[in-house]
Structures are given as C-alpha cells and as structure tokens.
Structure 1
C-alpha cells in the first residue's frame, strides 16, 4: 500500500516451546513515530530484532516499500537500530563512532566528514567529536548512538528502550528532543518501551502487545481512552474494570462482559450534611460536580481505604459497600477525603469503554 512503509504479515517466532510472536500483522507508515508497548515477554523486542534482520522468523514475511525483505541480511536493509546499551566503541572518538557505518560502506572521506558534522550538529554535540565516550555524560552517549544511526540516513530507525539508561531528570527532555529529531529527519521511528507514559507522550501510534499477540493499535488517545481489552485498560493507566454483574450500570451499556472506567472519570462526594463540600475527580476540561441529591444507577457507596500522593493529584482506592473497589483521582486543588471516610462515587455512562475481553 502507498501509505505503508513497513508491513509484517503473519510474523511468527518460536523459541523452543515458547511462542514469542503469534502470526502478527502490523503496518507502519512513512515518517511516523511508532511505539511498541508491552510488558516483559510480550514480544516487542523480538519484533524489533526481526525488523532489523538480527533474527529470522519461523513464519510470515516482512515487506519494506512493498518489497519482501524477510531473507535480507541487516546490512542490506535501509533500517538501522539504536541499542539500549548504545554499544559505543570505547577506543574510538565520538566522530569515529558516528562515522563507523560510513567507513564500512565506503563513503568518501570528504563526504564522511561532512555527514558526521551534520549528524553531530543535529544532536547538539558540535565540538565534541574528538572526545571519547567515557568522557561524556549518559545523555551525551545516547546522542552519539543516535547520531551514528542517523548519519546513515535510514528510512526506518529502530530504538530499543532509548531512554531507559537516563535518569528521571533527563528522560522527559531527551524524549522531546528525540521527537523533534524524528520530525526533522522525516524518518520513521519504531520505539520499544515498557514505559506507558513515554509511549503516550512521544508516539503518533502505539501497538500494545501481550503474549506475542497484537491486542490494539491506535493513537495514544484511542488506546488510553478507549482500550480494546481489559489488559490494555489496566496496562495504560490502571483503569477500573467495571462488570455489569457487580456494579449498577445504565441499561444502554448492560450486557457486555466488562467496561473500562478511568479514575479521572469518577466523581466523588462526601456523605454527610449540607455543609460537606463536594469532591471532584475530573479531567482538566471537565468541571462538573456531583450534588448530594443526585441518585441513579451509576452511583455507588464506599469507604476510602488507600491513598497514593502523585504531586498534582492523589489516587484513592475506595472499597465499595457492594463489594470490590474503585480507583479515584482527586486533583490537588480539590478537597481531599479522609482515610476511612464514607463517600459516594458516580460516573457518566458515556465514559465507560466496552472491552472485547
């Protein structure tokens, strides 16, 4: 297809009796930032290695620009990979590390020097070409590894947990720089990560893998607000899984196996006299409150049992009188309930996302 850069058809990989990828189909578009998200053993790193040509599938095929590249060795593919460890040569300078691939394919020296300088400028390492990797910070080494990949001008760049080795203070800044680089170069980036916030912040689209299978592909907004399965709902944001058999629901949403309900969607109200203030667990764009007089099928009673402070909000776990529990997010500028306090919870039926499984 004209709007597809890379396509996997029925891609399968086994390691003994273990099925790492189960007949996976996936299409990646030109120039998009694509994230492969999943827990340990989900198959995301295996898929990345198959795309890079570092491993061979047991079944299925890979196509790049419509051409079958399944049997092509890594060096014959316009695909490059940045490893989590960065894999820099300690005995080489920064410039020599960046230009290693150019030397291997026989690019003329003058052209090498020009492209190395361009790549170092692109990642903001101008003037550091003579240094050795051990004289650089972790963030600078990450940029060297990125420049070494970008200098080859790949159609597709594979990133294996690119921010995992950085401390928390650098992760956000470097993530935004990575996104800006992707836009500037026009290459498609495919990033493997287990970090949900990282994927949601950087990717144009996200593929969520579970047990070697692709369970959902969509924009960050789609997979977060409308998860396809209970696994996706829990993996991205610890959503509440609401079952019609155990919680009161509007008639129009009854009958399915389960629904996902985000903590941000639940409104929480103190139980007591008229002087008690309403508590709101809301999205930034939603400023509705629940009045004490409001009743209905989407209202349950419970007791606050746990609390987790998160800076600009607090996550509460409310044990329901009817059984089970719900997570509720209360923003910092709203009144906070006390541990052991009895509260009422309510939500809108439109905020329930039906789950396939």
Structure 2
C-alpha cells in the first residue's frame, strides 16, 4: 500500500541552526506515529511543515501522491490540534466543534449529522451548550479533538495533546485518544517529549535529535534495541558501558571490571553496550555476564526499587529491583549483579 504521507529530504534552517536536516519519513494510512525528542530536536517544526505553517528550505511533502507544499494550510486535508487546544471562549461546545464545517459552507443537515457523530464518538453528550471555561481539562481536550476530527481529515497532527492535563488524567485520556484514533481510521502524528506516552500509544516511535530522525521503529524495538547511544540514554535511561571490542566479538569493559558478551558477536565499530536497569539481577544466580559492586543509593518506586550500584571498575549501574524479588540490599552492601547475553545491546553511535 502506498504510504499516505511521504516526506523526502525535508530541511529547515533558522539562521545557523538546522531545525530539520534532510528528514525522510513515510506514514501509512491509519498509523499512530509518535515524534519523540527533547527541546530543539525538530519535532514541532516537522509537524508545522506538514500542516503548512512552516515552509521547508528543501525537500518534498506528499499526501497520497499529491504535493502538499503547493497547498496553503486551509486547503490541506490535514488538521492540527494545538497543545493549548485553542478553543473559542465565547462559543459553546457545539459551535466550537462545528466551526470548521461552517467555514467550509457545508449544508446545515450535514453539519448537524457530523456534529452528532463527533459528540457521540468523543463522549460529549450533554455538554453541547457549555462554554470552554465550564469544562474540565479532559473535556476541553475532547472538544478540541472533536473539532479536528469532525472535518474527517486524512491526517491529524497533535502537538503535545496531553501536555495540559494533570498526571491523573494523562493515562486515561491517552488511552481514550488511542481508541478514538482506531475508530476514526485517520493517521495520527503526535509530538511529545514524554517517553512513556510515546511507548504506550504509538504504533511506531520516531526519535529525533538535532533535526534528524535517529530511529523509527515500533515501541518495543526502540526500547529493547536502541539504534544509537542517544536513543538508549534518552529512552528509558539505559546503562551505557563503554569498552574495547575483542577479536571474538566480546567487549572488554574496564568500568564494569569484566568482559561483556552479547547473544551475537558485537559488530565491528561497537565501542559500547546498552543495558536496561530491569534486565539486571542481583545475587549469585546464573547469567552469561556478571560483575560485583557496592550499593550507593536505593529509592523505593512502588513496584520496584531503583538501586545505584558502583561496580568494581568504577562504573555506576542503575538497577531496577522488583518487589517480588524480596527486600533490596541496603546501602553499603557488597553485591553481585548478572545479566543475560540477550539483554546486551551493541551501540555504534
């Protein structure tokens, strides 16, 4: 199937800063894609280029084979939902949702039918006459989403859609957003800096750094097999252990005080490995890799405790100790840690 959205070599500079550096990306129909990155990574600029609010210096942007760059924002079959929601304060919920349809000159009967469908889909029945100030944060979010979806866009762009919600609402509203995306059938591109949000909601995660896409893959693959050191450190705060690759494909790691072996020989050029905190075990249980160290800090986190263990070679290891594994060792304890070769991820960049 031909990708619905296609970006090829898209670049955008602001003075000496490359906000987008030859970005190429395909988004197929019905996909939920999360653009993930820190401040200044280029994710919001990319969203604005697709929406038409920013003109690229180079590159092509197509939707179903049609040139999007030739169209002004209001003529693109694309809607954008802003972080602030941008609701009209003097209009009711119904008027806010129907605004775009009225601007297009749609017949009254069609507007009424689409409004009813949007209200039902977003769970806004009974709120049609309220003004935005009388709504909760979650309700305002759903009104903004209904206003975007009522026009039946082929592509919906969301700029930090859950950023204005408190922590208690974020998870529930996030799952509602995912369900709405599946029901609508539209492709969603969501900008976020929240790693857990991206992993939980997206079909694929596109990690950006300094204007470039450094990895685009399903959430589990991005988490378990980060392509670069940046992805490993940014997503889930993996342990990074540098060393020297041996001829047999193992890694001599002075900081860990041991030689580390992966499931397959490390590729040429690998000078470090990534290791997730939850993949490390404490105790004398068997494992292809092991090291010794001292517990420097311990922090209780509900279902687990985070331990900082100083290895014999000087490296500081973050270890997630599950409650089911018993009471974590106290500060000052001398411990042995071990991990399987399958948990070792080679890093090339």
What SS is found at the alignment partner of 1:223? helix
- 1:126-205 to structure 2, matched below 5 A, reads 126-205=125-204
What is the Cα deviation at residue 295 of structure 1?
8.2
Q: Which residue of 2 aligns with 1:250?
A: 261
- Matched residues, number: 333
- Residue pair 1:244, 1:254 contacting (<8 A) in 2 also: no
What SS is found at the alignment partner of 1:333? helix
**CA RMSD across the alignment:** 1.4
Which ranges in structure 2 are unaligned for 5 or more consecutive residues? 245-253
The two structures have a TM-score, normalised by structure 2, of 0.93
- Residue pair 2:79, 2:155 contacting (<8 A) in 1 also: yes
- Return closer, same or farther for 1:199/1:306 CA change in 2, 3 Å cut-off: same
- Residue pair 2:261, 2:344 contacting (<8 A) in 1 also: no
Structure 1 CA distance, aligned partners of 2:129 and 2:117?
15
Stretch of structure 1 that moved more, 252-261 or 221-230: 252-261
Structure 1 CA distance, aligned partners of 2:182 and 2:103?
27
What SS is found at the alignment partner of 1:99? helix
Q: 1:314 aligns with which of 291, 300, 305?
A: 305
What SS is found at the alignment partner of 2:325? coil
- Residue pair 1:36, 1:209 contacting (<8 A) in 2 also: yes
Structure 2 CA distance, aligned partners of 1:295 and 1:57?
51
Q: Which residue of 2 aligns with 1:286?
A: none
- 1:228-239 to structure 2, matched below 5 A, reads 228-239=227-238
- Answer yes or no: is 1:349 the counterpart of 2:348: no
Structure 1 CA distance, aligned partners of 2:46 and 2:299?
36
Stretch of structure 1 that moved more, 138-147 or 332-341: 332-341
What is the Cα deviation at residue 320 of structure 1?
1.0
What is the Cα deviation at residue 71 of structure 1?
2.5
Q: Which residue of 2 aligns with 1:63?
A: 62
Q: Which residue of 1 aligns with 2:211?
A: 212
Q: Which residue of 2 aligns with 1:105?
A: 104
Structure 2 CA distance, aligned partners of 1:130 and 1:265?
52
Q: Which runs of 4+ in 1 moved over 6 A?
A: none
Q: Which residue of 2 aligns with 1:272?
A: none
Which ranges in structure 1 are unaligned for 5 or more consecutive residues? 270-289
What is the Cα deviation at residue 258 of structure 1?
1.2
Q: Output one character per residue of 1:119-172: Cα deviation in whole Å (capped at 9) or x when no partner.
A: 111100012111111011111000100000000000000000000111111111
Q: Which residue of 1 aligns with 2:276?
A: 262
Structure 1 CA distance, aligned partners of 2:42 and 2:291?
39
- Residue pair 2:287, 2:339 contacting (<8 A) in 1 also: no
The two structures have a TM-score, normalised by structure 1, of 0.91
What is the Cα deviation at residue 356 of structure 1?
2.2
What is the Cα deviation at residue 254 of structure 1?
7.9
What is the Cα deviation at residue 174 of structure 1?
0.4
- 1:35-74 to structure 2, matched below 5 A, reads 35-74=34-73
